[in-house]
Amino acid sequence: MIRRTLMTTAAAGFALALGGTAMAGEPMDHVKACFVYVGPIGDGGWTFQHHQGALAVQETYGDKVEIQWQESVPEGADAERVLTQMALGGCNIIFTTSFGYMDATNAVAAKFSNVMFEHATGFKRDSANVSTYNARFYEGRAIEGLIAGRMTKSNKIGYIASFPIPEVVMGINSYFHHAKQVNPDVELTVIWAYTWFDPAKEADAAKAMIEQGVDVVASHTDSTAPLAEAAKSNGAVIGFGQASDMAEYKPSPRVASIIDNWAPYYVKRVGALLDGSYEQVDAWEGISGGEVLIGEITEAVPAEVKAEAEALRDAIAAGSYHPFTGPINKQDGSPWLAEGQTAPDGDLLGMGFYIEGVTGDIPQ
């Protein structure tokens, strides 16, 4: 108890002594960058890509940066403990890489004003030292949707969803919207797995879909299990690499992939802290900013579909096409976007509805 009080006092003293230095924009000689991961680095997907970003930071700045990370941190009370420990342990900037860390990040950030917090995929920035960053994954989903709509033979496509949060709903809508544009008969099956990482469950979800006649499976969970399940079908079912390239399943079932590329952002932010130009931001880059990459579209996709998908990718990258361009109606038939109107970011970040044509309800 005494030790804990001492530590808190020490931390408070430390905070007072250094409070505001980083925000005031003074350059730093040495930065300790810390990363909190929701899964194991070896997941081959989401966490793996964040770790690649962390390694890129180390490589870019060498001795000037020390990196530290913790894997498989549960979302909730444990996250708060880990964050507090990191803040007390001398971290200057802490990246929390999952939506579920949102409240923990803001709670701990309020206590350590001298430590910068960066929360991935969230929207709360309660204190000045909390920034949020995200990538426009829905842009990648548009390309997946186009391929799915063109490739499906049963006209049934599937989406293994993780949790009912705007990020995922956005992905489902973008995927379905672009499949529907090229194939009006397409039907979408959504399964909520309620996990980011549970290979057996993800495989079961893919299996359940395939048994119902789905022949294109997209996933919003982190492991390669859905692709492994699709691989059992001997080419009848295709899927996509999620978060990471998942190249080992080329050329089929993995016909394309969305790659999260966090390295540019991490390098930029740690660099800003080093040279004193660090400021609170709400970053949301997409294909154009290099944060979302589309992995190689394999020869399992016909050349004309591949060309069409690449044209869509380039249009999004050039900014000439927004994946949510009206007219788009909500599921209940009420209008959302008028002809030619593009979705405002606010609508996307708070997205809690399906677009017209998607069946089923979003679990509450």
Binding site for other proteins (CB under 8 A): 39-44, 72, 158, 189-195, 197-201, 203-205, 207-209, 211-212, 214, 223-225, 228-229, 231-232, 246-248, 359-360, 363
Q: Determine whether 304 is exposed, middle or buried from the number of CB atoms within 10 Å of its CB (0-12, 13-18, 19+).
A: exposed
In terms of CB distance, is 183 or 223 closer to other proteins? 223
In terms of CB distance, is 76 or 360 closer to other proteins? 360
The b-or-e profile of 320-359 (16+ CB within 10 A means b, else e) is: ebbbbeeebeebeeeebbeeeeebeeeebbebebbbbbbe
Strands of the chain, DSSP E? 31-36, 65-70, 93-96, 116-120, 130-135, 156-161, 187-192, 216-219, 238-243, 254-260, 282-285, 292-295, 328-329, 335-337
Cβ contact 88:28 at 8 Å: no
For the chain, the C-alpha Rg in angstroms (whole number) is: 21
Work out the number of other CB atoms within 10 angstroms of the CB of residue 89: 10
- Shortest spacing between CB 258 and other proteins, in angstroms: 17
- Shortest spacing between CB 309 and other proteins, in angstroms: 24
- Shortest spacing between CB 174 and other proteins, in angstroms: 20
In terms of CB distance, is 40 or 264 closer to other proteins? 40
- Shortest spacing between CB 296 and other proteins, in angstroms: 16
Q: How many whole angstroms separate alpha carbon 209 and alpha carbon 212?
A: 5
Contacts of 103 (CB under 8 A, 6+ apart): 124
Q: Determine whether 211 is exposed, middle or buried from the number of CB atoms within 10 Å of its CB (0-12, 13-18, 19+).
A: exposed
- Shortest spacing between CB 357 and other proteins, in angstroms: 14
- Shortest spacing between CB 23 and other proteins, in angstroms: 37
Task: Name the token pair of 268.
Answer: 């930029």
Q: How many whole angstroms separate alpha carbon 121 and alpha carbon 107?
A: 17
Contacts of 299 (CB under 8 A, 6+ apart): 251
Say how many residues make up the chain: 364
- Shortest spacing between CB 195 and other proteins, in angstroms: 8
- Shortest spacing between CB 318 and other proteins, in angstroms: 33
